[in-house]
A and B are shown apart, each in its own frame.
Chain A
């Protein structure tokens, strides 16, 4: 039994290849069925996102498994082997788990710490589960991967801080206001950057938008998009008192919001806190404004410094995340090794030998008059009995374990003889994840 992953990602393949080799949702179920149709492949999950395509399989033969995957990709997309073989990467065994856990933790993403990948893996696994393409190993592996991803997100700050200018604006606003729900934002200017920042603010709960622009029509157009109101450019200061957040990005050569304006606004607002973001160069908002009581004003350089610090923080968080991934891989491979046949048999032999020795000692104490040779005979006899009884089950298990679903026999073998796992490990992640998957 081998766990293999084959894939191509933004790190190995150009977009020309990535856009060809995809498995959209509609064909996913069908493709999974085709994949497990191959004789060497027992379980399969296909992860297909815009930056990566990865096929995870459990195969009973390493080389055949890899070969089947390449064949499968070529068949699906009408490609020749040499067209894609250069771009594909393969991992097997422990490195597959390591890779999957890293992907789920968003450590392998283009933007480290991005939040989507965990959901995408969940969907991919869900599809494979629905299509009956997963079984004991992948059910456990993927649930463990989701759990690892979640653990990384809660225990590190990997995804917490903004790494783009427009998100940094939202993040800063959230340091002043506890929640942006129900807040009003004023947009001065109607450019692309303004629109992007406003979109982020809206998705964080801001529900009222006031737009102003030198060309009133553009203000109206933007206001309509956000379901807001447009106000003429020469009277926007009068409306500023209603806004909690002001974003400015005009092409004006000098400041359009002066200190005097804001003092007037703050008087009208009864000093309620107000938050300014100036993304224009040259600046639209007089920097002096920041000195007014309860006014928090930032320009593009401030946002950039926030982004730079956050990027450094993410790198540091990623180091901690790698340690978490290593730890979880350790847990998982400990469980996986219990599915190997050799240790199970060794464990049974050890167990039987222990019983034999104990019983022999117990009974020899009752027979103190035995000679050396008689003891040897008894010893040999008990050994023979144990070995003969164990012979059939061991041979059969070895034989069955080579079948397609072999590890299930190993599993039953352990269960029937009540063989304890070599290493203590907690079962909880699997169960937790199972419960969670049912909920969602």
Chain B
């Protein structure tokens, strides 16, 4: 079973790399061969399914309660990012083929996550009693879903900024290939908004399930002052503010996009607390599992 996990995992990684290259190639090339379009989508789908297979094989091998280790969590993360992207592509690419530009950003991110997962494969520290709880399982799944949508939102925000620069600087610089291939401002703004709304919902649930779990523990009161928890709430506030200013003040465009990017930076920092050993040394956190890589 061990071997099978490794083989399926590597197959998924190869598919992701192929898909990344195909999306970038399709974006860069003049001629859009149908074969290439299907290759990009097909390998992305294959990679998604293979990653899901890895998760199930591992759950079957180690038991469901042992799957929350760093390797599996990252694999789930890599899979969900592709999943969110595939969902957008199947729903909207028929009407707006330009949305495929998203693949160029999302697939490489998934490759990086898979690479990181591979690095933590050997870290098989047994899970503490604290983690063997289905609330934790739900908590982690929601967190990964939230982070996946955030990453897609970031990709959309970058696409927006690239396109806006082309549109605003047309006088100084002739519009290039990016200009013709990237989706319209309205569309990237709208998708960024959707992704953040999706992410915000899960972020709320993550915090709620976290609280429920912390309340069950004897040292519950200490959890409320933990830097990781405070940062998670800060992320929630930034994204909440994004949704608020967008809906009430009508902040469309670059301003709300900058908010989305700020939110992502805060979220990355939240993720690193307790997960990155350098940062954990400066800011100690109780939220520290799976050998510091959870």
Contact = CB atoms under 8 A, between A and B. Distances in A.
B25 interface: no
Interface residues of A, number: 31
A178 B160 CA distance: 12
Given A156-B30, A309-B175, A294 B184 contact: no
B184 A176 contact: yes
Interface of B: 30-34, 96, 163, 166-168, 170-171, 174-175, 179-180, 183-187, 190, 249-255
A286 to B, nearest CB: 14
Nearest to A270: B250
A174 interface: yes
Contacts of A309: 174-175
A271 B30 contact: no
A83 B255 CA distance: 69
A401 B31 CA distance: 42
A435 to B, nearest CB: 17
B217 to A, nearest CB: 47
Given A178-B186, A293-B255, A294-B254, A306 B175 contact: yes
16 contacts: A156-B32, A157-B180, A160-B180, A161-B180, A172-B167, A175-B166, A175-B167, A177-B186, A178-B184, A270-B249, A293-B254, A294-B253, A302-B171, A305-B170, A313-B30, A320-B31
A192 B277 CA distance: 68
Given A178-B96, A305-B175, 5 more contacts: A161-B180, A175-B184, A176-B186, A302-B171, A313-B180
B96 A273 contact: no
Contacts of B34: 154-155
Contacts of A296: 167-168
A155 B185 contact: no
A177 B184 CA distance: 6
Main secondary structure of the interface of A (DSSP, over half): helix
B95 to A, nearest CB: 9
Contact of A155 (B31, B180, B251): B31
A174 B250 CA distance: 21
A212 to B, nearest CB: 25
A301 B96 CA distance: 29
B252 A272 contact: yes
Most buried by A among B166, B186, B249: B186
B184 A293 contact: no
B118 to A, nearest CB: 37
Contacts of A178: 96, 183-184, 186-187, 190
A272 B249 CA distance: 10
B186 A155 contact: no
A290 interface: yes
A270 B30 CA distance: 39
Nearest to B96: A178
A138 interface: no
A293 B187 CA distance: 18
B179 A175 contact: yes
Contact of B251 (A271, A298, A316, A324): A271
Contacts of A316: 30
Contacts of B31: 155-156, 317, 320, 324
Interface string A170-185: 0010111110000000
A294 B254 CA distance: 8
A271 B174 contact: no
Given A293-B255, A320-B30, A271 B250 contact: yes
Contacts of A320: 30-31
Of A174, A175, A273, A298, chain B has the most CB atoms within 10 Å of the CB of: A175
B40 to A, nearest CB: 15
A157 B180 CA distance: 10
Contacts of B168: 290, 296
Nearest to A156: B31
A298 B31 CA distance: 29
Contacts of B183: 178
A290 B168 CA distance: 7
A174 B251 CA distance: 20
Contacts of A161: 180
B278 to A, nearest CB: 39
A316 B183 CA distance: 22
A270 B33 CA distance: 43
B163 A157 contact: no
Nearest to A308: B174
Contacts of B32: 154-156
Nearest to B249: A270
A290 B34 CA distance: 39
Nearest to B97: A154
Contacts of A271: 250-253, 255
Interface string A297-327: 0100110011001000100110010001000
A44 to B, nearest CB: 33
Interface in A258-297: 270-273, 290, 293-294, 296
Contacts of A156: 30-32
Contacts of A294: 252-254
Nearest to B170: A302
B207 to A, nearest CB: 31
Contacts of B96: 178
A223 to B, nearest CB: 27
A156 B36 CA distance: 13
